[in-house]
Structure 1
Amino acid sequence: MTSATRATAYIRGLLPSRPDYRDLRRTWKGDLVAGLTVGIVALPLALGFGVSSGVSAEAGLITAIIAGVLAAIFGGSNVQVSGPTGAMVVVLLPIVAQHGVGAVALVSIMAGVIVLAAGALRLGRAVSIIPWPVIEGFTLGIAVIIFLQQVPSLTVGGQADAASHSSNALVAAIQAISSADWTYVPWAVGAALIVIACMLLAQRLHPGITGSLAGIAIVTILCLVIDSPLAVIGALPDGLPMPTFPTLTLGSTASLLGPALTIAALAAIESLLSARVASSLADTGPYDPDRELVGQGIASIGSGLFGGMPATGAIARTAVNVRSGGRTRLASIVHAIVLLLFVLVLSGPVGMIPLAGLAGVLMLTAYRMVHKATMRSILKSARSDAAAFIVTAIVTVSFDLIIAVVIGIVFAGVFAIRNLSRGTGVQREEIAGTPLAGDERISVVRIDGPLIFASADRVFEEITRMRGATVVILRMSKLEHVDASGAHALQDIVQSLERRGVTVLIKGVQPVHEDLFRTIGVLASLRHHRHLFTSMDDAVTHARSHISRETGRTAASTTQ
């Protein structure tokens, strides 16, 4: 295969193809129903996330429509539903506070280019390095932040005082409560409770009822009938804007590079996790993680061009899609078309929705993100996993999402390496068979498990502390993974023993370790190249010959 042919196959693997829709003739009815259902479910979420991000409800809708279509066509999952998500809102709010609303479209495009490049470089499998406790701690932290972000909508009428609040959700919630308008709070809390009650009761009454939409409809009607002080979304356009490229300057690009990298990392992590979970919910075919990144990158770029926000795969909407019968990309495309119809036909009524009602939707959504059984399982598991879960959640709420993931991975990795190093053992063995005179001066030392940097010093100390032997046989047939530090420790062991006059024999070097041992100098440290054995019997025979010669020399010198 020529390089041109390989390059063509490589590119084709990341682009849409006819097999994406091979099951459409069989599943199209279910896809239409699922798309309609997800579209209705997504409407309040798109509006709410748009408002909570500090941008606008319009931006949330644009993101759900544009990104929903583009990610469905170009992404690597047959059932993934993409759009604005709570995790992205958590990152965007500080960016809006620092750089202004106008920076969102540009940072969306920049992040999209980064995610697209990651997919083109085949980095989609990287998410597998994130441990499960870290993912759950990350999710818990996001849920807490989303919940806290709704407090201003219930106390001061939404975004009116947002500029005076901290970019940290916990601090902003405390500030909002301290400056609350207590004549406004009962109205806002009442509206949120009505929506939450509808969401909780809807599934008990009938699975087909979308509780969030019903609750918002009830609250909106009540606000029109009753003269209430509740802040509403406001006027929305009755169509999509024309795509435009945001103003690009060297200064704005440089200042937004850090936020863009954060958004890109978050978009990649959340989308790949969502796609992986979706593939386990039903038989919808495998997902391609690299192509998923390409699709999500294109979706964020498209969203930014239309004035929207960065997009990611949304696990809640994806799960609704699968459970409603969605099996191909048509379902996600239909969901976007449904949202577009809301914009074209019902933009007026949608603009009358109270912000407090959307806050109720997002508060219950945040609550449902926390799985109590999962939390109990992690907290009752190994202390290292529980610690990684707790630390990730705390850092997510207190500082930054990506920092939290990095700290969580490092935290879990340190404990994993520590536990792995505990599997390294040093055992002193007896010589098999009938003991001979002088065998007490031969030590057979077996090294088990992995020999890595975390256990290298301990192994060195345990072996070099051994006394009373003239010959030491290092048995390595049970040795597992060895890194450069472990090989260097073996070299130090051989050199230390030889300096003390102890002859070192090595038995059972596995072929997988031989090149490393030669490179580091372990084998070169032996007194003689014949001190390397594949058979234990040969090694013992050679050790006994050393003892015999040493005993003979001692006897001769005594006679003289």
Structure 2
Amino acid sequence: MSFLKQLSPKSPKDDVLSGLTVALALVPEAVAFALVAQVHPLLGLYAAFIIGLITSVFGGRPGMISGATGAIAVVLVSLVAQHGVEYLFAAVILMGILQILFGMLQLGKFIRLVPYPVFLGFVNGLALVIFLAQLKQFQIIGEDGTSTWIEGTPLIIMLVLVAATMAIIHFLPKFTTAVPSTLVAIIALSLVVILFNVETRTVGDIASVAGDLPTFHIPTVPLTWETFMIILPYAVIMALVGLIESLLTLNLVDALTETRGQANRESMAQGLANFVTGLFGGMGGCAMVGQSIININSGGSGRLSGITAALALLAIILLGAPLIEQIPIAVLIGVMFMVVIGTFKWSSLRLFGRVPHIELIITAIVMLTTVLADLAVAVILGVILSALVFAWDHAKKIRVQKYTNDGGNTVYELIGPIFFASVHNFQELFQPKEDAQDVIIDFKRSRVADHSALEAVDQLAERYERAGKRLHLVHLSPECRLLLKKAGDMVEVNVLEDPVYSIAAGLTAAEIDAYEARSKKVSAGH
């Protein structure tokens, strides 16, 4: 019953119509990405069908669309050029295995480590990538391989068709939502071009999309360690790129639908899809932001929409190629331009002066890296930069409240965590030569976080020892005690077993009571 609800939670009609719309948008994208990877267009179409079907049935995000993508295609270029298409199939199979392991090990939760500025940069960067990819359709590749921009009447016709497509998609929902506006735009303007014999480029001008059913095919590569080492780097990169793009797309669709997908289940579904794709002659792929947004905006919210898109794509390959090849490229460009407008987070342009400048810089870096390099590099770079900024900010926040208790002992109440970035500031907070004979460091509002922190505490103890004074640590958290216990004799410090200091030399019962009273007073004041 749960699966049937996910199959079409709102309207089967909307899911089917939305799936048909997505299928039409998948064709030129799959063909284009196959050409980027320098393989036959059918490899891209097979990947779009198989990956789309499997992830729609087994994935963790109903309504999300997967297929052949540019991010995967770019990685495959050098592998195909150097070793041939059979190695591509083997790399895609290994990619699938790695993604399945990722999901089985429950590593999908690490997508939560991606900060919002990085996510914002990813979304905006991807919107720019989609936009720039459409501009290439305004170029004609000559026989010598050089490209020239379309000019004159052909350019005007394309621009008119693009504008008409965008207008229909934007304004039709204001009058009726009975059918997806995107599907209406594609069918209506294709009929106009056909009936009035308008001279403009069509899908058929890119490549033929006609073919047969994909057949089972074990890659014909040597089963040797050398082969494994050839395909491993490509498989790892594709697995990471595919998972990052898929899980971030999952988060984006979650936000659009106000529901929550399952990251680990989606990872395993992506892996299974790529594993099967490699065995049936596909080029591999992952979730697609553009097509997923088209699906959601067209009313597709369940698994039925993705299943319909995949089956419709198969029907196009087997039966409908002559019709699909007559769809004008300009109409599909208009569809993707609307995707760009819907994908780009325009609200991010209003963040200047409202959020820290460093977060805006991280967003810009991720966005530019997505455009100039690739998605995986952009996201990893963004996470690293965000982590460094976080560490730097928190390193400056460590401080102490210093006083002398009634027994004449120096007490430091430490505030803020001790970790690799804060150890330098931590050492500067103490003056052993100026302190009393017995020194107490209260960790009630602090934590010893890592090896660097342990080493810093040990060095501080040595400083007091050289000064002929005794250092006592109190109110350590269970985690801190465990770290010190594991460190063993690496760290020589006097840790009091409980907040009552009866075992600390030089502290009387009166001093203990006075210290506790002072601690409560200071804590209450903060």
Shorter-normalised TM range: 0.7 to 0.9
Is residue 117 from structure 1 mapped to residue 111 from structure 2 by the alignment? no
Q: 2:128 aligns with which of 137, 144, 152?
A: 144
Give the corresponding residue for 2:473. 506
Residue 372 (structure 1) aligned to one of 337, 346, 361: 346
Equivalent residue runs for 1:112-261 within 5 Å: 112-157=96-141, 179-181=146-148, 184-186=150-152, 189-207=155-173, 208-210=180-182, 213-214=186-187, 217=190, 221=194, 224-226=197-199, 232-237=205-210, 239-249=212-222, 250=224, 253-261=228-236
* Aligned equivalent of 1:391: 365
Give yes or no for the alignment of 1:420 onto 2:378: no
CA distance in 2 between counterparts of 1:545 and 1:312 reads 68
Shift of the 105–519 alpha-carbon distance from structure 1 to 2, 3 Å rule, reads closer
Instruction: Compute the displacement of 1:214 (Å).
Output: 4.2
Which runs of 5 or more structure 2 residues have no equivalent in the other structure?
A: 174-179, 512-526
Q: Is 1:65 matched up with 2:37?
A: no
Does 1:475 find its partner at 2:458?
no
**SS of the residue 1:482 aligns to:** coil
1:424 is matched by which residue type in structure 2?
I
Q: Compare 354-363 and 48-57 and name the one that shifted more.
A: 354-363
Whether the aligned pair in 1 keeps the contact of 2:201 and 2:329 (CA below 8 Å) is: no
Pick aligned residue for 2:483 from 497, 502, 516: 516
Q: Return closer, same or farther for 1:227/1:37 CA change in 2, 3 Å cut-off.
A: closer
Does 2:462 correspond to 1:487?
no
Task: Report what 2:522 is aligned to.
Answer: none
**1:505, CA displacement in angstroms?**
2.9
Name 1:273's counterpart in structure 2: 248
Amino acid in structure 1 at the alignment position of 2:415: D
**Which residue type is aligned with residue 141 of structure 1?**
G
Tell me the CA shift for residue 496 of structure 1.
0.9
- Which stretch has the larger CA shift, 357-366 or 482-491? 357-366
Counterpart check, 1:317 vs 2:282? no
Aligned partner (choices 16, 24, 27) of residue 35 of structure 1: 16
Q: Deviations over 1:87-112 (max 9, x none)?
A: 44554556556666665444333322
What is the match of residue 62 of structure 2?
78
Letter of the 1:448 counterpart: I
Specify the alignment match of 1:5 in structure 2. Answer: none
Where 1:242 maps in the other structure, the secondary structure is: coil
Structure 1 pair 282–468 and aligned structure 2 pair: CA distance change class (3 A): closer
Cα 1:205/1:456, change in 2 over 3 Å? closer
Residues of 2 paired with 1:59 and 1:378: CA distance? 44
1-structure distance, mates of 2:404, 2:207? 84
The C-alpha deviation readout for 1:44-76, integer Å capped at 9, x for no partner, is 233234214424554443333222211122222
Opposite residue 480 of structure 1, the aligned amino acid is R
* C-alpha separation in 1, matches of 2:73 and 2:16: 24
Query: 2:209–2:321: 8 Å Cα contact kept in structure 1?
Result: yes
Q: Which residue of 1 aligns with 2:315?
A: 341
State the number of aligned residues.
Answer: 499
TM-score by length of 2: 0.81
Change (3 A) 1:532 1:123: closer
- Alpha-carbon distance in 2 for matches of 1:245, 1:271: 26
Going from structure 1 to structure 2, the CA distance change for 1:327 and 1:288 (only over 3 Å counts) comes to: same
Change (3 A) 1:471 1:296: same
CA distance in 1, matches of 2:361, 2:68: 30
Paired letter, 1:20 = F
How many Å separate the matches in 2 of 1:517 and 1:281? Answer: 47
Q: 1:372: how far off?
A: 2.0
What displacement does 1:395 show? Answer: 2.7
Structure 1 residue 201: Cα displacement: 0.6
* Displacement of 1:220: 5.0
CA distance, structure 2, for counterparts of residue 75 and residue 81 of structure 1: 10
Q: Secondary structure at the match of 2:468?
A: coil
Equivalent residue letter for 2:128 = V
Provide the C-alpha distance between the structure 1 equivalents of 2:42 and 2:99, rounded to a whole number of angstroms. Answer: 24
- Distance in 1 (CA, whole Å) between partners of 2:490 and 2:282 is 63
| 1:400 counterpart letter in structure 2 | D
CA displacement 1:353-406 (0-9 Å, x = unmatched): 455654554455445432221354388522332232222223333333322222
TM-score by length of 1: 0.77
**Aligned match of 2:521:** none
Q: Which residue of 1 is the match for residue 518 of structure 2?
A: none
Whether the aligned pair in 1 keeps the contact of 2:158 and 2:330 (CA below 8 Å) is: yes
* Structure with greater Cα Rg: 1
Secondary structure of the structure 1 residue equivalent to 2:148:
coil
Q: Which ranges in structure 1 are unaligned for 5 or more consecutive residues?
A: 1-17, 165-178, 547-560
2 CA distance for matches of 1:31 and 1:257? 42
The residue that corresponds to 1:400 in the other structure is 374
Contact between 2:169 and 2:185, CA under 8 Å: does it hold in 1? no
Amino acid at match of 1:190: I
- In the alignment, the residues of structure 2 paired with residue 29 and residue 84 of structure 1 have an alpha-carbon distance, to the nearest angstrom, of 28
Verify the 8 A CA contact 1:154 1:359 in the aligned structure 2.
no
Q: SS at the partner of 1:476? A: strand
Whole-angstrom distance in 2 between the partners of 1:273 and 1:541? 58
Aligned alpha-carbon RMSD (Å): 3.7
Residue in 2 that maps onto 1:299: 273
Look up the SS of the partner of 1:199 in the other structure. Answer: helix
**Any idea what SS the aligned residue of 1:140 has?**
helix
SS at match of 1:426: strand
- How far apart, CA to CA, are the structure 1 residues paired with 2:105 and 2:393? 33
Distance 1:334 1:343 in 2: 14
**Structure 1: distance between partners of 2:189 and 2:221:** 39
CA 1:185–1:310: 2 relative to 1, 3 Å = farther
Counterpart for residue 48 of structure 1: 29
- Cα contact 1:137–1:393 (8 A) shared by 2: yes
Residue 126 of structure 1 deviates from its aligned partner by: 2.2
Kindly state the Cα deviation for residue 483 of structure 1 after the two structures are TM-superposed.
1.9
Tell me which amino acid in the other structure corresponds to 2:240.
A
Cα distance between partner residues in 1 of 2:310 and 2:324: 16
Change (3 A) 1:288 1:517: same
CA gap of 1:358–1:254, structure 2 versus 1, over 3 A, is farther
Q: Pick one of 421, 425, 437 that aligns with 1:458.
A: 425
Q: Decide whether aligned partners of structure 1 residues 277 and 140 sit closer, same or farther in structure 2, where only a CA change above 3 A counts.
A: closer
Change (3 A) 1:313 1:452: same
Instruction: Give the direction of change, closer, same or farther, for the CA distance of 1:364–1:309 in structure 2 (3 Å limit).
Output: farther
Q: CA deviation at 1:459?
A: 0.8
